[in-house]
Chains A and B, each alone.
Chain A
Amino acid sequence: MLEPQDRIRFEQLVLPHLDSAANLARWLLRNRADSDDVVQEAMLRAYRFFERFHGGDARAWLLQIVRNTCYTWLEKNRPSEMMTEFDEEVHQLPSATPETLAAQADERQRLMLALESLSPRSREVLVLRELEGCSYKQIGEITGIPIGTVMSTLSRARERLQRTLTSAAVKEAW
C-alpha cells in the first residue's frame, strides 16, 4: 500500500504519461477496446510497483510495464500473433496485402494497415521512435533489446514498412 505522498508522486510522475501508455498499447494490440483494458491493468500494476521506482525516466519505466502487460495479454488471447514473429514475409495479415492496401483511398488508413501488418517487435520500435520520439537508450530500456541492437532492429522495421507501402503503391498504379 502506498503512502499518501507516494500517491501524489505517482500522479505527478507517472500519470502524465498516460497518453504514451495508451498509444503504445493501441499499436501493440491493434484495437482500442482491448488496449484500454490492458492500459488500465498496466496502470494498476505500475501503481502497485511504484515503490520500486527509484527516480529516473518515468515514461520509460511505465512503458516497460505497459509493454510487458501487452505481451502477456497477446500470449494469452492471440498466441498466433506472437508466432508470426520471425516470419513476417510469410504470415502477412490478410488485412494488409498489397491489394487491400492499394484499395484504401485514405492515406492514414493505409498507413495504419501497413504498420499493423508488421510483427509486434518491429511495430513497437517504430511506434516508440517515430510517434513517441524515444531515444535508442529509452527504446532499449522499454523493450529489453540491447542498445547496440536497437539501430539494426529499427532499420529492419523501417525497411519493411517502406516495402509494404511501396508494393501497395505499385499495385495501385496497375
Chain B
Amino acid sequence: MNCELAQTTVHGYFDGELDAVRSAEFERHLERCPECQTALEGIESLRTLLQQSNLYEQASPHLRERIREQLAETSSAGRLPPVYSRRWFLVPTFGVLAAAAAVLAVVFFVLQPHTHAARITAELIDAHVRSLQPGHLTDVQSTDQHTVKPWFDGKLDFIPPVSDYSEQGFPLVGGRLDVVDGHSVAALVYSRRRHFINLFVWPSRNKETIFETSGSRQGYNWIMWGSPDMEFCLVSDAASGDLRGLKDLITR
C-alpha cells in the first residue's frame, strides 16, 4: 500500500486545481483507495485547523498610517512635470483644488472601502446565515442560468450577471432577493462540496471605485470587490481558497 497519488494528485484535487477530466478520474480512484481517502481527510482537517485558528495577520492601523504618510511624502518630494508646475503657479486655485481632490481621493479610496466593508460585511454575513434557515435559501431554484437571470427581471432596478460554474465545481443552485444596507440586492446561491456560497450583487454606488477586501468572521469567509458597474460579495463557510476560485471565475 503505497499510493503515489496520495502524495500528489490528492492535493491538486483538494485545491480544485485539476481539470474536469483528471478530477473525475481521481474521484473514481478515490472510491477504491483508502490511502487517498485518509490523505484527503488529513489535508482537509489541516486546512480547517489553519483557517479557524485566526492566523491571518492583517496590517496594523499603525503600519497603514506609516505607508500612507510615506506615499504622500514620496509624491510631494518628487518633481512634477514642468507643465503641471507652471499651470499650478499661474492658477493657484487649481493647485489647491487639485491638492484637496488628491487628499479626498486618498481618504475615499483608502478609508472608505474599509469602513464601508466592515459595516456591510456584518450585514452580509447575517444575510448568509439567515439564508441557511430551512426554506430561505432560494426564491427561484434552478441550476439553469437562463431561468435564474430572467427571474430577477422587474424585481430589481439592475440586472445581475448570472452564470453557472458546474463544470468548474461551483454549480448554481438558485437565486433570491435580499435586503442589505436598506437596498435590495440580488443573491445567487452556489454550492461547493456540500457548502453553500452566497454571491450578493448590487450596483456600484461610486462608479470610480475598484476595490477588493476579504476576511473571515464567525467562521465565515468573505471576499468583497467592486467594479465600475457592480459590487459583489461572496460569503460562505467554504474554504477561502474556494471563494477565491469562484471569484476568479466570476471576474474572468
List residues of A whose CB falls within 8 A of some B CB.
Answer: 1-4, 7-8, 10-13, 15-19, 21-23, 26-27, 32, 36, 39-40, 43-44, 47, 59, 107-108, 111-112, 115, 126, 129-136, 151-152, 154-155, 158-159, 161-162
Contacts and interface: CB of A to CB of B under 8 A. Distances in A.
Interface stretch (B25-33, B130-138, B178-186, B242-250): B242-250
Contacts of A129: 15, 241
Contacts of A27: 57
A131 B7 contact: no
A133 B241 contact: yes
Contacts of A8: 102, 105, 109
A152 B51 contact: no
26 contacts: A1-B78, A2-B78, A11-B71, A11-B109, A12-B211, A18-B64, A19-B59, A27-B57, A40-B66, A43-B67, A44-B74, A47-B74, A107-B53, A130-B47, A131-B240, A134-B244, A135-B15, A135-B17, A135-B244, A135-B248, A152-B7, A154-B11, A154-B15, A155-B8, A158-B46, A162-B42
B63 A39 contact: yes
A131 B67 contact: no
Interface of B: 7-9, 11-12, 15, 17, 42-43, 46-47, 49-51, 53-60, 62-64, 66-67, 70-71, 74-75, 78-81, 98, 102, 105-106, 109-110, 113, 209-215, 239-245, 248
Nearest to A153: B11
Given A135-B245, A151-B11, A12 B109 contact: yes
A114 B34 CA distance: 27
A8 B211 CA distance: 12
A131 B70 contact: no
A131 B210 contact: no
B47 A23 contact: no
Contacts of A130: 46-47, 50-51, 241
A123 to B, nearest CB: 11
Given A47-B71, A47-B74, A154-B11, A131 B113 contact: no
Given A16-B211, A151-B8, 5 more contacts: A12-B209, A15-B67, A111-B50, A133-B239, A155-B8
Contacts of B17: 135-136, 151
B55 A108 contact: yes
Given A13-B210, A40-B63, A115 B243 contact: no
A59 B211 CA distance: 11
A159 B58 CA distance: 26
Nearest to A23: B57
A1 B50 CA distance: 41
